[in-house]
């Protein structure tokens, strides 16, 4: 499958089936803003749940935080964002479009050109601060200016002492946060890859300065493993160690986990682009906010910070692209399926929006009544779909397309033997299961 068309098909599937819509589509949308529909919100929640379970719930050295989006602007002055959270903005004098220096067209020797109309008549790059500004309170003057946070990290740093005291955690320990971040990106695009409102999953992990390199390596390995455990194909992931020239001013080392996206994220060749970054931020942030740490021997020092920082939306896009598979002519030999291109979203079971779908073979009350009963019982335990419209083959394919791992079919035999057929999305294998054992059967299958 052509990679560009894969992206187009995924975007269309996301809209058609209710994963992702353009925000305010009815009014022409707003560039860089997206709404997550019924299936999108489930997938997103499952992704965040998986991260929280792995990095907070199952560890005794990391605790969570949910801080405010707007805070005292001094935070952003001390952190350096007011002065320096900017991109290089360039304007084309021919087509009047604006873009980042990173987007410049350098495909041919000679001067860099506008990436849209390829004109050489472009302005010099100037700094453009990408923080969104707003006002707190009824007066719109500079003393009331505040910012929508461009990352979740800073609110973690300013809570360092509160959390240390409340939890009595000792270095090494971490604070995790999932939440919205806002950046007035010059060139949002590639669907949800680069938006102006997005979500981050960040950990600030505080270590003794002498142990920073060991912890940094550990976090690269653990973060990479988490993506693999979520089912992303290993060959579509790579680690990119940033050379010194690319490092942010506060970073001693940064490794990005990149995904092989079917588009170019920064102009030029399509392919590898950042999914998450792991940075050794040294003592830059705790120093900036004037924090100090005293260990059990009364030794004072400023901890170093290792920061694994991932984007929820970007991870979701990579997961969807990785799971998307088309099978020409279908997977079965029925004439109906033979005519079509079948789509299977091979999502990891823990991420699938619906875990199971209940499908009575016929709409007749004789079958729909027991099927609805099964549906209502399963709903208490799993996100469950119910569908009795159109042929069973079509209904299987509707579920395959949104990644539902199991379909439960209630047929006329079920009335006699009190069993149902459970079909597996990936193998299409079918098991006949006692209705009384169904919950346990699915629970086992979904967690294996």
Return residues touching ligand ATP (CB under 6 A): 151, 183, 185, 194-195, 198, 200, 274-277, 309-311, 313-314
Distance in Å, CB of 147 to ligand ATP, minimum: 15
User: 268 near 246, Cβ under 8 Å?
Assistant: no
Distance in Å, CB of 281 to ligand ATP, minimum: 11
User: 69 near 148, Cβ under 8 Å?
Assistant: yes
What is the chain's percent helix, strand, coil content, to nearest 5?
35, 30, 35
Distance in Å, CB of 187 to ligand ATP, minimum: 10
- Helices 438-447 and 365-379, interaxial angle, to 10°? 50
Compute φ and ψ for 253, nearest 5 degrees. -155, 140
Distance in Å, CB of 415 to ligand ATP, minimum: 51
Per-residue HEC secondary structure of 46-67 comes to: HHHHHHHHHHHHCCCCEEEECC
Our CB check for ligand ATP shows the closer of 186 and 385 to be 186
Distance in Å, CB of 311 to ligand ATP, minimum: 2
Our CB check for ligand ATP shows the closer of 172 and 311 to be 311
Distance in Å, CB of 375 to ligand ATP, minimum: 36
Our CB check for ligand ATP shows the closer of 240 and 291 to be 240
336-346 CB burial, b ≥16 within 10 A, e <16: ebeeeebbbbb
Distance in Å, CB of 91 to ligand ATP, minimum: 20
Q: Which of 427, 403, 341, 446 is nearest to 6 (CA)?
A: 341
Distance in Å, CB of 226 to ligand ATP, minimum: 13
d(CA 235, CA 370): 45
Our CB check for ligand ATP shows the closer of 187 and 384 to be 187
Edge-to-edge order in the sheet of strand 419-424:
384-386, 356-360, 406-410, 419-424, 430-434
Q: Which of 277, 326, 332 is nearest to 306 (CA)?
A: 277
Distance in Å, CB of 310 to ligand ATP, minimum: 6
What token pair was written down for 57? 């719930």
Our CB check for ligand ATP shows the closer of 195 and 282 to be 195
Look up residue 123 and give its DSSP letter: P
What token pair was written down for 281? 């931020």
d(CA 270, CA 247): 22
Distance in Å, CB of 277 to ligand ATP, minimum: 4
What token pair was written down for 171? 């270095």
Look up residue 100 and give its DSSP letter: E
Our CB check for ligand ATP shows the closer of 33 and 382 to be 33
* R_g (Cα) of the chain, nearest Å: 25
Our CB check for ligand ATP shows the closer of 158 and 186 to be 186
Helix H segments across 329-409? 335-338, 365-379, 392-402
């Amino acid at each position: 499958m052509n990679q560009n068309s894969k992206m187009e098909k995924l975007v269309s599937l996301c809209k058609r089936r209710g994963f992702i819509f353009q925000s305010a589509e009815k009014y022409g949308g707003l560039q860089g803003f997206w709404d997550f529909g019924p299936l999108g919100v489930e997938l997103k929640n499952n992704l965040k749940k998986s991260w929280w379970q792995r990095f907070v719930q199952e560890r005794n050295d990391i605790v969570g935080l949910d801080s405010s989006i707007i805070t005292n602007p001094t935070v952003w002055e001390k952190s350096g964002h007011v002065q320096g959270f900017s991109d290089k903005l360039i304007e084309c004098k021919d087509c009047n479009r604006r873009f980042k220096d990173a987007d410049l067209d350098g495909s041919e020797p000679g001067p860099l050109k506008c990436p849209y109309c390829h004109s050489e008549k472009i302005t010099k790059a100037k700094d453009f601060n990408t923080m969104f500004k707003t006002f707190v309170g009824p007066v719109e003057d500079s003393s009331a200016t505040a910012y929508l946070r461009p990352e979740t990290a800073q609110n973690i740093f300013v809570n360092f002492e509160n959390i240390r005291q409340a939890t009595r955690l000792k270095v090494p320990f971490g604070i995790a946060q999932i939440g919205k971040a806002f950046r007035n990106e010059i060139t949002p695009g590639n669907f949800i890859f680069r938006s102006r409102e997005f979500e981050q999953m960040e950990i600030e992990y505080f270590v003794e300065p002498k142990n920073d390199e060991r912890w940094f390596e550990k976090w690269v390995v653990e973060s990479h493993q988490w993506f693999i455990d979520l089912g992303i194909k290993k060959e579509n992931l790579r680690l990119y160690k940033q050379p010194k020239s690319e490092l942010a001013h506060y970073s001693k080392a940064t490794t990005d986990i990149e995904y092989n996206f079917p588009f170019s994220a920064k102009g030029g060749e399509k392919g590898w682009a950042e999914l998450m970054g792991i940075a050794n931020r040294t003592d830059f942030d705790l120093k900036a906010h004037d924090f100090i740490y005293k260990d059990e021997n009364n030794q004072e020092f400023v901890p170093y910070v290792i920061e694994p920082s991932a984007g929820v939306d970007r991870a979701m896009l990579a997961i969807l692209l990785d799971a998307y598979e088309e099978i020409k002519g279908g997977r079965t030999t029925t004439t109906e399926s033979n005519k079509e291109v079948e789509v299977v979203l091979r999502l990891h079971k823990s991420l699938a929006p619906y875990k199971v779908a209940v499908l009575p073979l016929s709409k007749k009350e004789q079958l729909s009544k027991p099927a609805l009963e099964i549906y209502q019982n399963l709903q208490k335990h799993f996100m469950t779909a119910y569908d009795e419209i159109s042929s069973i083959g079509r209904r299987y394919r509707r579920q395959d397309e949104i990644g539902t791992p199991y379909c439960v079919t209630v047929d006329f035999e079920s009335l006699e033997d009190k069993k149902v057929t459970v079909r597996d999305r990936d193998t299409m294998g079918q098991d006949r299961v006692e209705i009384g054992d169904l919950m346990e059967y699915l629970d086992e299958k979904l967690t294996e």
